[in-house]
Structure 1
């Protein structure tokens, strides 16, 4: 197993790193999700990637049929990345493990905070919506390890 690194803003470093790996597991944060499109371009140029796992860990965004601002932000970015992955033709796995209970429940899903709200809780939509299961980090780590080994 290699621990190659590249800079998403440095084309040559990414292509060089991709020449030595089989599976790419992207873990970029929410603000950088669309940077995965650059990563895909460079992985495609390297030409040997057997599987791409996007920084996707969370809600199954293609199943959401929501009509409020959250779909335009993080979830919209995840959808853009998914469509790019499919376009590039690299074998991929989407890990929609559900919301991370430790993250989601700690804030009651209030945006831009890391602590529970004190004065007000925003309920998205009309409050009657399907919501996915919750996962924990250890289960997701084990699943990713198995996906990686299966791709080799």
Structure 2
């Protein structure tokens, strides 16, 4: 538990420092496409807070978009020599620590409720019932928390 508290304190501190630098025009949060490495603000990560499985991808592959933005085109690029890879999140699991996982996959036929722990926190619902798979961007300074998943109703 102490390690978790330490991680949260340092993450908050890093986000605050990057925010101040961005306002001053000195730096800005690194976009998710910048490479497989974490930025000064930290790594992007996904937490599956549900009992169902979910999938994260490593590379976002484009410079456009912000945390929470989605595309129906599967990111398939290599970034800084690291090929696209995916990670199956079991229930109540998260992507590996100190690795930059930039994409959450919203499965076809499912509805996901996702909370983004970011510079500005927000929650978004992605309803893909009767639709194709979609992929959601998670920038380096953000964590995505899957709060609900269902293939019948939206959580």
One fold, TM greater than 0.5?
no
Greater CA radius of gyration, 1 or 2? 1
Q: Say which structure is richer in helix.
A: 1
Give the TM-score taking structure 1 as reference length.
Answer: 0.22
Q: Which structure is higher in RCO with an 8 Å CA cutoff and minimum separation 6?
A: 2
